Structure 1
Amino acid sequence: MRYLDPKADLTFKKVFGEHPDLITSFLNALLPFETEDEKIVSLEYLPAELVPETPLKKNSIVDVRCRDSNGRVFIVEMQMIWSPAFMHRVLFNASKAYVRQGDKGEKYELLQPVYSLNIVNDVFMPEIEEFYHDYRIVHMEHTEKVIEGLRFIFVELPKFKPQTFSEKKMQVLWLRYLTEVDEKTRVVPEELMNVPEIKKAVDQLEESAFSDAQLWGYDDFWDAVRVEKTLVSDALNKGYNQGIEQGREEGREEGMAQGREEGMAQGREEGIAQGIEKGIEKGIEKGIEKAKIETAKRMLQKGFSIDDVCELTNLDKEIVERLI
């Protein structure tokens, strides 16, 4: 038996976008519901956002939208490649979904919460050990004071390590499903197959269930993701290294100048050290900016639109337009 990876556009939407019982189980497991009364009982799918069919949005983002019997809205996104612009997009989409409730003439107090669940197949907070990030609108000094309405959950899949949490059993099992089942899998772990919902989700991944055209699209998806990762990684590494070297040179010059002005050996040493430190900081900033520009140039050469380049690199549109 050969399986496909559930994180791809084709498979993720088949599993979670066509089976209400599976997305219900997934949401109940991954969202921070504190009581059984908060759990989703039943839901209906909402139309996906109408976004341009561009290489970037097609290959980087997968989303499923639904609403439960209480009117709460849930947006589920699978982000293959992290970029700072993604978090802004998440905020925009969730806010838009919340505001749209008002278009129906609902009173403000009747507006229902919007939950945004974002599964990221990348690490974007390397300085934090936890893989699960829960964002709410809270009072800065009294965090128990919360403005209800929007809630954002980000899961960094590469950080997830299976552990036994009795109170979070389904969360662990669903995350294992996303991280342990792929094209190399021949035998799915028994503990996953013993859970009816996850067994059903695994069955949806059997290669034999897809047409040749679908399988071609599946392979094309991963090819495009690898190309995008390479473009970003190569450009950032090149720019970072150049920036560090340039920063060291600027730092030495600045430090020597400061040391001469002080006219003392100790001052000269301190000046050189401070200058190098400042130079490295400046170099890193310049390196990152160069990396973004290099990435933008290569993306434009690959046929990406200006808007997509701006979204991935976080560069101003005016700067990208000058690169054409």
Structure 2
Amino acid sequence: MHHPIDPKIDCVFKALLGAESNRALLIHFLNAILGPDLPAPITWVDILNPYNDKEFLDDKLSIVDVKARDASGCLHQIEIQLLVNRDLLARILYTWADLYCSQLHSGQDYSDLKPTYAIWLVDQVLADTSGYAHDFRLRDAQARPLLDHGGIWLLELNKFHTDQVQTEQERWLKFFKDGEALDSTALPSWMQTPEMTQAMNTLKTFSEKERAYHAYQARQNYLREQRSIQRHLDELRAEAEQQRAEAEQQRAEAEQQRAKAEQQRAKAEQERTKAEQQRANAEQERTAKEQALQEKDAALAEIERLKAQLLDQGRSESRDNE
């Protein structure tokens, strides 16, 4: 191989699994990834959007996923994603639902719907779990399927670290992860299969055909630019998030200070009310004391008056006796 070719670059990926000449590779890949989840092994597929090298070399290839229908009518979508963005999961679900819904045409019934399988190879960490393989289907809390009509399979290449290949699924994942570093003249033992040989021949085609390699480089440069743009957007988003967090913290601190000031005001109001109550109590006590003194003085005056009256009466009686 004259030039190293990364099988994860979308145009190479589609040539591997979407070319009519590589139909056997697609069948092998689907059986390897889906395995026991299929009602029966796939023996034939019709590629619905086949790879066309002339369209690719003319830079007109825009749809880089692979869609196929097997002999039982089941639909399959395979796509590779090198960049992970915040809307990717919604996009994955939407494209699966769109493909599933596309089966029905005018006059057809729901009974005509067939299982639909979406397989996504992701080159960055997507799910917050330790495993690299995930399948998502419609199930309830007891894992009972609502309808066994396929689902979505996510395979995270960055989490795949298998040194010894034991299954065909592991063989394909290792090929996509390490394919760029492989030498076609000295392939490791795990690559010594007819399917891997055919896959390496596809990479060799991109390496040796000048126009194909230049187009591959152009696509790779585009993806590098997209990664740079994505990193820049992530940095801007992180900066905006940090500024939002700082503003939220400042708002919280201001709210805390306002609450503290309100608490101090309430405490001052409470102390003022307490002082006012004490003043009122003191005034009431003073008034009561003054009233008591007035009543005492009045009582003493009444006593003096009665004493004077009795004294006058006694004197009058003494004069009368004389």
TM score, norm. by length of structure 2: 0.69
| Partners of 1:6 and 1:12 within 8 A in 2 | yes
Could you tell me which residue of structure 2 aligns to residue 11 of structure 1? 12
**Corresponding residue of 1:89:** 91
Corresponding residue SS for 1:119: strand
> Percent identity over the alignment?
23
Deviations 1:53-77 (A, max 9, x none): 9xxx968x62111111111111111
Corresponding residue for 1:203?
201
1:234 deviates by: 1.5
2-side partners of 1:74 and 1:43: how far apart? 9
Match of 1:185 in 2: 182
Q: Aligned pair in 2 of structure 1 residues 146, 163: CA closer, same or farther (>3 Å)?
A: farther
TM-score, normalised on structure 1?
Answer: 0.68
List runs of 5+ in structure 1 lacking aligned partners. 266-324
The 5-angstrom pairing of residues 1-324 of structure 1 reads 1-2=1-2, 3-18=4-19, 19-34=22-37, 38-47=40-49, 62-103=64-105, 105-125=107-127, 127-139=128-140, 141-164=141-164, 166=166, 169-182=167-180, 184-186=181-183, 189-207=187-205, 210-259=208-257, 261-262=259-260
CA distance in 2 between counterparts of 1:41 and 1:179 reads 26
State the structure with more CA Rg. Answer: 2
Task: Find the aligned partners of 1:112 and 1:241 in 2 and give their Cα distance.
Answer: 46
Q: CA deviation at 1:221?
A: 0.7
Give the CA RMSD over aligned residues: 3.0
Q: Which amino acid aligns with 1:108?
A: Y
In 1: Cα distance, 2:86 partner to 2:61 partner: 18
- Shift in alpha-carbon separation, 1:165–1:224, aligned structure 2, 3 A: closer
Letter in 1 for 2:209: S
> Structure 2: any 5+ residue segments left out of the alignment?
264-322
Offset at residue 39 of structure 1 (A): 1.7
Confirm or deny: 8 A CA contact 2:18 2:49 kept in the other structure.
no
- Output the CA distance in 2 between the equivalents of 1:41 and 1:227: 40
- Deviations along 1:227-262, whole A, 9 cap, x unmatched? 111112122213313432452354145225414524
* Aligned counterparts of 2:198 and 2:99: Cα–Cα separation in 1: 30
- State the Cα deviation string for residues 128-173 of structure 1 (Å, max 9, x = none): 222212111112x32223322241111111111115474xx10111
The question of whether the paired residues in 2 share the 8 Å contact of 1:10 and 1:214 is answered with no
For residues 31-52 of structure 1, what are the alpha-carbon distances to aligned partners after superposition, in whole Å with 9 as ceiling and x for unaligned?
25247x5221211211369xxx
Distance in 2 between residues matched to 1:208 and 1:84, nearest whole Å = 32
CA contact (8 A) 2:134 2:155 kept: yes
Shift of 1:92: 3.0
Write the distance in 1 (CA, Å) between the matches of 2:203 and 2:83: 22
Alpha carbons 1:5, 1:11 under 8 Å: kept: yes
Q: Cα deviation per residue 1:77-113 (whole Å; 9 max; x = unaligned)?
A: 1122122333333333332332232217444224211
SS in 2 for 1:144: coil
Code of the residue aligned with 2:201 in structure 1: it is: D
